[in-house]
Amino acid sequence: MTSVPAPTPEGAAARPAVPTLALMRRLFAYRPGLFALNLALWGAFHTLPALFSFAVGRIFDRLNAFETLRVGGQSTQGALTAVWIMVGVFAAARLSRFAVFLAAFRAFIRIWYTLDALLRRNLLGYLLLAPGSRRLPDTPAEAISRFRDDVEDVAGYTEVWIDSAGFVLYTVVALTLMVRVDPVITLVVCAPLLLMVVVVQRLSPTIRRYRRRMREATARVTDFVGETFAAVSAVKLSGNEDHMVRHLERLGETRRRAALRDVLLTELIKGVNSNMIAVATGLVLLLGASRFRTGGLSIGDFVLFAALLPRLTGSMGFFGDMIARHRRTGVSFERMNRLLQDAPITQPVEHHDVHLQGDLPPIPPAAAAVPLARLDVTDLSAVHPNGRGLHGASFSVTRGEFVVVTGRIGSGKTTLLRALLGLIPRTDGEVRWNDMPVTDPASFFVPPRSAYTAQLPQLFSESLRENVLMGHDTDPGTAARLDRALHLAVMTPDLTQLGQGLDTPVGARGVKLSGGQVQRAAVARMLSRDADLLVFDDVSSALDAATEAQLWAGLFAERHGTTCLVVSHRRAALLRADRILLLEDGRLTDSGTLPELLERSAEMRELWAEDTGQA
């Protein structure tokens, strides 16, 4: 997958707004029972403190009644019993809250990681399996921030929704208890808390803007670090280490300022919400002073207010923060949908198995493919943003043919292969497999129909064995296929030089292997799948002449009749070609056998003369 320039603001504006609430409902519906369990458990956990407050208030009232009876010389047994009953209620509520927390925490961990995995599975699944070429709108390094930061933001918003049920219940219970004591004081105390919710709502656009800037700044840092590590050799050869460090410092400073604004606004809102506790308690003292003197407000009532207010203020602040989190989650969904480009807006929250428990499912067998008889390409075009590319190429490949695509650098050879295989969008043309139109080449040209080795193949940071087999290590006959693929790719002699043979870790992007070993490992990966059509994109660029000749000789000897479409300028490939396709400036100008092209094409004669057959 490659990146393309970011769309213009106009193009971005044409995309419909992200319905955050609808997407969250769809996400919660993935495990409705688990979500309901979390709501119930956390609802109980957050509501039980209201029972604590009620019990403490009644304890003080009972103690006050006990003292009044004792001073008056009356029996205090009933009042003392009532005190101990309320103490028991308080202790039971405390212990039960601890038990509820243990159960709620386990349930929350399950739903957090389940929904987190679902989001990442949907993002990666669409990029890998969706119809068409899945070109990233930005760099791969920047895409990582979508998988990491934006997914975590959405998962964090899940926590807000789970907690919201408990805070709503607590608020209802607390307000009911307070209104029963004194409606006027309750109204005066709650007014500033409600005002804070309104203020946060008004600040929502600013919150959203600051969060977007922070995410974009983070993505730029991630992008730059990824590109730098991918080009360490180029940086060292050019002697630009200091310049790169200074540029990273500038990007880091920009990110620091953006993150500071985002965090400062969020913490400011939280701080004001927290200080509202002291304001509310002061209002209770001011308004309740006269009520104490007249007996309209008891000590227990004041204790009830004082005990309920901190968490009630926190609840009001929670709802204000929930509005802010809603805005930030909307930004995260927007960034995910930008990554997926033309995907349905609900793609990140579609329901699929994530297999977090139990054994992983076996790899499904490849669908039976109709063997290739003839591949026809008509008027194939693929134009890059700079106007260069491939224009109107038409050719055919018959089963068993060895067809070589050749031309100068920049003539469109790689573009032809990538457009044919659906790895880049084609602007025009038709591809037919056995006279059947191929509407989605990216999904069609995969094993067992086709296998492809790129000019710059990518290896994973795993062992050589895993890079060749790509998860197909349990298939019948795996050992025999692996040995044959390594032999054909001229990789067998290298195994003795590698410390752990096939189990040798290749490092990030195959850094522990030479360029030729990386290329041959990719060829072995392709040959291990027994595909009908083998597509090679200039694999000889990293091979010496002897190794390349051995590669083609082995392929022809042991896989006679294999259909190959090969980009190469080397004589070893040109001499074996059944047909050669000659490209000039993005156009297919001629085709034929090597003797035919050498006779009638000046361009072919020049290419032939330029290559000496040496590496």
Q: What is the pLDDT of residues 539-563, one digit of tens each?
A: 877 778 788 888 888 888 776 668 9
Domain boundary among 349, 364, 397: 349
Residue 74 reports pLDDT greater than 80: no
Are 112 and 155 a contacting pair, CB within 8 Å? yes
d(CA 509, CA 494): 18
Q: pLDDT at position 416, please?
A: 94
Which CATH number is 589's domain given?
3.40.50.300
Residue 37 reports pLDDT greater than 80: yes
Q: Give CA 259 to chain center in angstroms.
A: 21
Binned at pLDDT 50, 70 and 90, residue 312 comes out as confident
Query: DSSP labels for 88-117?
Result: HHHHHHHHHHHHHHHHHHHHHHHHHHHHHH
Of 160 and 56, the structure prediction assigns the larger pLDDT to 160
Q: Which helix H or strand E contains 451, and what residues bound it?
A: strand 450-453
**C-alpha R_g of the chain:** 35
Q: What value does the mean pLDDT take over residues 234-256?
A: 85
Residue 245 placed within a domain:
no
Indicate the range of 270-284, 372-386, 438-452, 467-481 predicted with least confidence. 270-284
Are 565 and 533 a contacting pair, CB within 8 Å? yes
**Average model confidence (pLDDT) across the chain:** 82
Domain boundary among 349, 365, 382: 349
Both structure tokens of 33: 């029972």
Binned at pLDDT 50, 70 and 90, residue 23 comes out as very high
**Span 357-413, pLDDT tens digits:** 888 787 776 666 788 999 999 999 999 888 888 999 999 999 989 999 999 988 999
Q: pLDDT at position 94, please?
A: 78
Both structure tokens of 342: 């033309």
d(CA 288, CA 219): 54
Residue 455 reports pLDDT greater than 90: no
Of 614 and 190, the structure prediction assigns the larger pLDDT to 190
Judge if 527 and 395 occupy the same domain. yes
Residue 320 placed within a domain:
yes
Q: Which helix H or strand E contains 581, and what residues bound it?
A: strand 579-584
Judge if 422 and 456 occupy the same domain. yes
Binned at pLDDT 50, 70 and 90, residue 528 comes out as confident
Judge if 341 and 459 occupy the same domain. no
Of 239 and 424, the structure prediction assigns the larger pLDDT to 424
Judge if 334 and 378 occupy the same domain. no
DSSP 477: T
Domain boundary among 284, 315, 349: 349
Judge if 542 and 400 occupy the same domain. yes
Judge if 336 and 415 occupy the same domain. no
Q: pLDDT at position 138, please?
A: 76
Which CATH number is 132's domain given?
1.20.1560.10
Q: pLDDT at position 8, please?
A: 39
Residue 243 placed within a domain:
no
Judge if 326 and 461 occupy the same domain. no
DSSP 411: S
Residue 184 placed within a domain:
yes
Most confident of 2-11, 146-155, 552-561: 146-155
Q: pLDDT at position 14, please?
A: 47
Q: pLDDT at position 5, please?
A: 40
Backbone angles phi, psi at 40, to 5 degrees: -65, -45
Are 437 and 430 a contacting pair, CB within 8 Å? yes
Full domain range(s) for residue 485? 374-610
Both structure tokens of 137: 């709108």
Residue 4 reports pLDDT greater than 50: no
Of 440 and 507, the structure prediction assigns the larger pLDDT to 440
Question: Looking at the 3D structure of the chain, how many domains does it have?
Answer: 2
Are 374 and 535 a contacting pair, CB within 8 Å? no
Q: What are the start-end ranges of the H helices in 422-501?
A: 441-444, 464-469, 478-488, 492-495
Residue 29 reports pLDDT greater than 60: yes
Binned at pLDDT 50, 70 and 90, residue 293 comes out as low
Q: What value does the mean pLDDT take over residues 581-598?
A: 92
Indicate the range of 74-83, 172-181, 442-451, 597-606 predicted with least confidence. 74-83
% of the chain surpassing 70 pLDDT: 86
Judge if 341 and 380 occupy the same domain. no
Residue 567 placed within a domain:
yes
Amino acid at 459: L
Q: How far apart are the first and last CA of the chain?
A: 29
Judge if 390 and 340 occupy the same domain. no
Rounded to 10 deg, the angle between the 183-202 and 241-294 helix axes is 160
Judge if 318 and 434 occupy the same domain. no
Q: String of b and e for 289-313 (b: at least 16 CB within 10 Å)?
A: eebeeeeebbebbbbbbbbbbbbbb
Judge if 428 and 514 occupy the same domain. yes
Indicate the range of 70-84, 145-159, 366-380, 408-422 predicted with least confidence. 70-84
Q: pLDDT at position 2, please?
A: 43
Residue 246 placed within a domain:
no
% of the chain surpassing 90 pLDDT: 24
Judge if 381 and 333 occupy the same domain. no
Residue 9 placed within a domain:
no
Residue 234 placed within a domain:
no
